[in-house]
Amino acid sequence: MAAKKLRAVRWDKGVVYLLEQRVLPFQEKWVKCDTVERVAKAIEEMTVRGAPAIGITAAYGVAVGAMRSKAKTATAFEKEVEKAIARLRRTRPTAVNLFWALDRMAECLKAISVLSVAEQKRALVKEALLIHAEDEALCDRLGKHGSKLLAKAKNVLTHCNTGALATGGDGTALAAITHAARKNKKLHVWVDETRPYLQGARLTAYEVAHAGIDFHLITDNMAASLMKKKMVDAIIVGADRIVANGDTANKIGTYALAVMAKAHGIPFYVSAPTTTLDLTKKNGDSIEIEQRNPKEVTHPQGVPIAKESYPVYNPAFDVTPGSLITAIVLETGICRAPYQKSLRSALTAAQKESK
């Protein structure tokens, strides 16, 4: 428990360092990104992954470009930074946090155009550090609120990867676990491997081990029998999108856990920032589910387990009805049913804060 906090993205003297996630947990290799192109490639090639972590890395990428600039005039400098932003935008076309972070850096650049080049450089670095610090603080708030729900749990089950490797801080759902474990030394975690992409086996197990928390790795289909044997006290997962009635899109396999939690009387929690809320949608029926590459199923880690020609169904997400969710943890606090009301209040509170 005394281990140093895990961070996957670090800024040091004009350079971004990324923990190479493709070789985890077998190697702890830091990739030095001292040019915009190196940062862009690291995002493209998934050295860094997880929506918040990608956004933070992109912001640092702009800062790297700014610091390396040899421009003498503000106009030349701004052009260079804009070029860096454009390059970083082309890395991951569906990453919402990436665009959000780059938009914010672009806005910052506009706001500081009256300053000298040296001052502009400092301001852009400061903005990137702020984006990172804000995410770290957000994780802390999620962890603090979520940990209250796990205060008495001995065995907590989690799915997919929601920790330090995906964010700028301790994570979302996993932050609740790591924060709870600081007080509750007997906490034990069941880490679902999370097929098909194995985020649990490859990344979450590493995070939990790094935090010094007792855990066991399981395959996804073992969770139900653990619940039957009363070996699970609570389940907590992250979210990709939460709509007005609490219906939650998250990594495939989440819905199965929620159904089984209900059948066994086990609380099922979701933890995510308010930026995940999409209250324009009444319920989850209209959430479109992306079909991913069949090779994720037939070739885990690139190794064939079935013929490539076999037909595969590979939805990225499923939708868990709000009615199966005991509580939703947001940075503003804990929301319970009716979610139409509690999520609306939370979003209003978050918007007030950010003003």
Output the smallest distance, CB 327 to a second copy, in A.
21
Q: Which of 47, 250, 298, 326 binds a second copy (CB under 8 A)?
A: 298
Q: Name the residue among 245, 260, 190 with its Cα closest to residue 219.
A: 190
Given the complex with a second copy, which of 101 and 249 has the nearer CB atom? 249
252 forms part of the interface with a second copy (CB under 8 A): yes
Given the complex with a second copy, which of 61 and 253 has the nearer CB atom? 253
- Residue 274 sits at the vertex; the CA angle it makes with 185 and 104, to the nearest 5 degrees, is 115
62's CB contacts (< 8 A; 6+ apart) are: 36, 81, 84, 85, 88, 102, 105, 124, 128
Is position 240 annotated as part of the catalytic site?
A: yes
State both tokens at 311.
Answer: 């037909």
Output the smallest distance, CB 161 to a second copy, in A.
13
DSSP secondary structure of 163-227 = STTTSSSS-SHHHHHHHHHHH-TT-EEEEE--TTTTHIIIIIHHHHHHTT-EEEEE-GGGHHHHH
Given the complex with a second copy, which of 106 and 316 has the nearer CB atom? 316
Q: Name the residue among 254, 276, 43, 313 with its Cα closest to residue 138.
A: 276
- Asked if 273 contacts 354 with a C-beta cutoff of 8 angstroms, the reply is no
- Asked if 318 contacts 253 with a C-beta cutoff of 8 angstroms, the reply is yes
Q: Which of 75, 116, 221, 293 binds a second copy (CB under 8 A)?
A: 221
Q: Which of 74, 106, 224, 349 binds a second copy (CB under 8 A)?
A: 224
Give the span between the Cα atoms of 10 and 315, in whole angstroms.
Answer: 33
- Cα–Cα distance list, 310 to 151, 299, 303 (Å): 46, 12, 15
Q: Name the residue among 153, 152, 155, 165 with its Cα closest to residue 7.
A: 165
Q: Which of 11, 60, 77, 255 binds a second copy (CB under 8 A)?
A: 255
Interface mask (CB under 8 A) for a second copy, residues 200-219, using x and -? -xx--xx--x-----xxxxx
Q: Which stretch binds a second copy (CB under 8 A): 118-126, 190-198, 235-243, 328-336?
A: 190-198
59 forms part of the interface with a second copy (CB under 8 A): no
Which residues from 24-43 bind a second copy, rule CB under 8 A? 25-26
Kind of pairing between the strands at 30-33 and 317-320? unpaired
Output the smallest distance, CB 205 to a second copy, in A.
5
88 forms part of the interface with a second copy (CB under 8 A): no
113 forms part of the interface with a second copy (CB under 8 A): no
Number of Cβ within a 10 Å radius of residue 324 = 19
263 forms part of the interface with a second copy (CB under 8 A): yes
Catalytic residue among 135, 240, 247, 318: 240
| Catalytic center residues | 240
**Interface positions with a second copy (CB under 8 A):** 25-26, 190, 192-196, 198, 201-202, 205-206, 209, 215-226, 228, 252-253, 255-256, 259-260, 262-263, 297-298, 300-301, 303-307, 310-315, 318-319
